[in-house]
Amino acid sequence: MPPLPPAPNVLVIQLKFTVSRANVLSRVHVKYTSAAPNRDDLITYAASIDAEIAEHLLPLCSPQVKTAEVMVTDLTSEYGARGIATSEREGTRPGLPNCRMARPWPR
């Protein structure tokens, strides 16, 4: 299978974590309008994503949810930059098997 064509000005953010014993991978694609980022830019971006997950998402998750890595890759070319931030954080909410979901509206 040939490689996928380049996606100009697109980053893929890959989040690796575990829920209990299950390995989980989530990918998000975002478009940017600045100059192409370099490796250091993407390492900094990956670390900031990891910090935001720790501040906003993990307080809603049980300790069974553990982060492992945030990887950001520039898809502009097959030689696009890549930044990786390793992570060893875990959820802090007691009593739930995984993340708490938002309640349906209206109640």
Could you read off the pLDDT of 26-80 as tens digits, one per residue? 999 999 999 999 999 999 999 999 999 999 999 988 898 999 999 999 999 888 9
Residue listed under structure tokens 């069974």 = 64
For residue 14, the model assigns a pLDDT of 97
pLDDT tops 80 at residue 104: no
Greatest CA separation for the chain: 50
SS3 content of the chain, % helix, strand, coil (to 5): 20, 35, 45
Cis upstream peptide for 2 (omega within 30°): no
Confidence at residue 84, expressed as pLDDT on a 0 to 100 scale: 98
| Assigned token pair, 31 | 């478009």
Residue predicted with more confidence, 42 or 101: 42
Distance between first and last Cα of the chain: 49
Assess contact for 15 and 70: CB atoms under 8 A. Answer: yes
pTM: 0.84
